Amino acid sequence: MPVQDTPPVQGTPVQDTPVQGLPAAAARPPVPPPAWRPRTDPAPLLPDPEPYRVLGTDAVAGADPALLLRLYTELVRGRRYNAQATALTKQGRLAVYPSSTGQEACQVAAALALRERDWLFPSYRDTLAAVARGLDPVRALTLLRGDWHTGYDPREHRIAPLSTPLATQLPHAVGLAHAARLQGDEVAALALVGDGGTSEGDFHEALNFAAVWRAPVVFLVQNNGFAISVPLAKQTAAPSLAHKAVGYGMPGRLVDGNDVVAVHEVVGEALDRARSGGGPTLIEAVTYRLDAHTNADDATRYRERDEVESWRAHDPVRLLERELTGRGVLDEEGVRRAAESAETMAARLRERMNEDPVLDPMELFAHVYAERTAQLREQEAQLRAELEAAAESDAAGEGAGERR
């Protein structure tokens, strides 16, 4: 089809003279063509000026006590899980562990806000969210152990693979959510990402596609202050990360990421909106990573101790515990039961992680492609022949030793 020239806007004469040669008034018409007008009213999309909170306000009185206790139990378990996984790295049982200590509220609240048919798209630091979603705590650590693929069947658990590349899971979440919407399947996708991930191209592409397609997906940015050692101020000059939503035509929400009740409420509302056809939402949860980026990082090189200690006073576990005990929802017995449950989980995790896994090298070729390529089949045959030859050599050596 031949490309046609765009006709001039009515009332605007075609100029043969270069713009640079025109007087200023003629070079810039007083009113732009109608195409400039915004497609969406930006006002309703803007986030609140301050992070939304529930704890410490009258709003907490309306929360379901059973939900509050469940959130508390999961927070305590999550804190213990982080501590135990970090200890396993020092024992050589894990290659690396990116702790989420200090930001457990984001992950617990997000996981519990999902329905059974929804999908979770985590980043590498969101192991706790996967566990709170119901994934086996040991299988959640499989990738960080250097073991079999991602460690679990994503379709069975509706949890996308935990992986290290930043923000690559976001376009996948949009694609799944859009496909579900086309099929009439009432499914929402929740995609987790850190503040560092918002500097990746995948983040912007995902938000743009999600908004244009009105895909049922929610983006939860856990703004923990640093992308490894890079502070947020060196990544963006935006008023907040939640403000970025306006540029894509979706609502932005700003929430206190250490207030587990507030995060659960905001994420739950966004998921409901997504399922009902309202489109995507970008949520920024303001939190803080109390531990180093990973066990291989020295956080003292780029942040002050006083800063860390000030955030300890806003610890998500203590915030909720103080609120619940003050309101009579949680007593000493409840605190003890939650701690015991966490210790039982940690002991079982240690026991199972201390068992050497039985590895099958041939599993390298499983779950790579739906149908194995010719090159993959060739590599598989080569490895099988090498393993068989090594086994025959070992058997021959043992036989010779017995004869001697």
Rounded to 5 degrees, φ, ψ at 133 are: -75, -15
Rounded to 5 degrees, φ, ψ at 37 are: -60, 140
* Interior angle at CA 36, CA 30 and CA 41, nearest 5: 120
Helix, strand, coil share of the chain (percent; to 5): 50, 10, 40
In which residue are the tokens 């690559």 written?
A: 168
Residues 6+ apart with CB under 8 A from 201: 167
Residues 6+ apart with CB under 8 A from 39: 249
- Diameter of the chain measured on Cα atoms: 104
CB atoms within 10 A of CB 239: 13
Residues 6+ apart with CB under 8 A from 192: 106, 107, 110, 120, 121, 122, 123, 126, 129, 220, 222
> Of 117, 302, 318, 327, which residue is the catalytic one?
302
Nearest to 94 by CA among 62, 137, 51: 137
Rounded to 5 degrees, φ, ψ at 272 are: -60, -45
> Of 125, 139, 181, 293, which residue is the catalytic one?
293
293 catalytic? Reply is yes
289 catalytic? Reply is yes
DSSP string, 37-61: S-SS-SGGGSPPSS-B--TTSGGGG
302 catalytic? Reply is yes
By annotation, the residues acting in catalysis are: 289, 293, 302
